[in-house]
Structure 1
């Protein structure tokens, strides 16, 4: 999704960020970052890893049911007000299902969205972004297994 579509916003983005929260899905982050790593061989790029604090952010939550996971050390906090980010990535993960857990991401997305060129989500990261309100009135998809099915009314 591209919030800014003016002629001056065209060109290759170079400033990227990932919004982390406890319980993020590692693949949702490291798959896209691997592409950026390869792209950085031919084009200078910057990357910020964002979270509420600079403490390592775990892929696990107490309720995730997993016994092993990894942690990622952020480079900046949401409060740092990183204004020059062009592309923001919001991953999915078990932690995305807890509104209190992702509240800082939701607030950051809401504040950063008007300045972004692109907002990318993976899997249930779209639900996190939807909570911010920036998808209101837009069509979007998410991982259907994460939500209870709605029953259709019978005619």
Structure 2
């Protein structure tokens, strides 16, 4: 009989509870599926922390520590997961924890992070030279603070058992529920597609979600103080998405020459006016589809795309899903 594989998840004050419970539930459900098939459980789940005291998550829920990480022999772990949450910054300053993670990396079969837990692994140096992702809101911090990390902003996770488009040993996942996607991929590698699919069905999840994490983030209008020369124009745009928003029209509204406007957009927003308008229209279309307020053809017209095919191409360009798929999943 195959030995139990120990899956350990680090917990700490102000950890995101779903970053811990989501992935662990996938492994627990895989055990249930095996028991239904008359097979023994494969995974042993445990929570490790810096003390034996219960740990308060960012939601206020308390989790019990099974073992202090200082007492854990990493060689006895199959998979070690590092979740994210509001307490990440404190953990990134814990030299003892970072040393322990560096020591654990070559000893565990798999080392991964969920959400902003990637910042802890990066602080420990184990992501240097490796592909990594994190929650879309933390991508810039990961990229700026750890230039040796190959940041992939629009990935749900970077695990690949074949070591081709990702890493089978050290890997990361994006925001919150992407940790469930990661755990499903780990179960599929361990137990095959049929078991992973059974778990996904049981949890009412995609086995592999189409698209990346940009489909869950929003293009927010920046604070006026950050874009003083564009503030009035950016405030005007959302109410006129169905109008002609050519460069000349925008320049006239902003009272700037077209070339000047293009330069200011790049300087203050990091993109040209055409791309900004396209992204703004996309966000408006997403909101309408999520609220089921109109048909796809009506959404295309109201948001300035005109024809549904233009809307479809833009959805695939930025979100890797069709408007129909998006509406079915989020509407």
Report the alpha carbon displacement of residue 143 of structure 1 after superposing the two structures with TM. 2.0
Partner of 2:23: 32
Change (3 A) 1:117 1:129: same
The one of 88, 113, 117 aligned to 2:109: 117
Report the alpha carbon displacement of residue 96 of structure 1 after superposing the two structures with TM. 0.5
- How large is the RMSD of aligned CA atoms in angstroms? 2.7
- Name the SS of the counterpart of 2:132 in structure 1: coil
- Name the SS of the counterpart of 2:112 in structure 1: strand
> RCO (CA 8 Å, sep 6+): is it higher in 1 or 2?
1
**1:73-99 superposed Cα distances (whole Å, 9 cap, x missing partner):** 110001113330010011010101233
Change (3 A) 1:133 1:72: same
Report the alpha carbon displacement of residue 139 of structure 1 after superposing the two structures with TM. 2.0
Report the alpha carbon displacement of residue 18 of structure 1 after superposing the two structures with TM. 0.3
State the 4+ residue runs in structure 1 displaced beyond 3 angstroms. 102-105, 146-150
1:91 equivalent to 2:93? Answer: no
The one of 128, 137, 143 aligned to 1:136: 128
- Name the SS of the counterpart of 2:88 in structure 1: helix
Q: Tell whether the 8 Å contact from 1:91 to 1:123 is kept in structure 2 after alignment.
A: yes
Structure 2 portions without partners, runs of 5+: 35-40, 145-266, 271-331
Change (3 A) 1:87 1:44: same
Between Structure 1 and Structure 2, whose CA radius of gyration is higher? 2
Distance, in Å, in 2 between the alignment partners of 1:27 and 1:55 is: 20
Q: If each structure's helix is expressed as a fraction of its own residues, which one has the higher value?
A: 2
Query: What is the total number of aligned residue pairs between the two structures?
Result: 135
- Name the SS of the counterpart of 1:115 in structure 2: coil
Residue pairs, 1:5-154, within 5 angstroms? 14-41=5-32, 42=34, 43-60=41-58, 69-82=60-73, 83-98=75-90, 99-100=92-93, 102-146=94-138, 147=140
Q: If each structure's strand is expressed as a fraction of its own residues, which one has the higher value?
A: 1
Change (3 A) 1:138 1:13: farther
Structure 1 portions without partners, runs of 5+: 1-10, 61-67
Mean CA deviation greater in 102-111 or 69-78: 102-111
Q: TM-score, normalised on structure 2?
A: 0.37
- Name the SS of the counterpart of 1:40 in structure 2: helix
Partner of 2:281: none
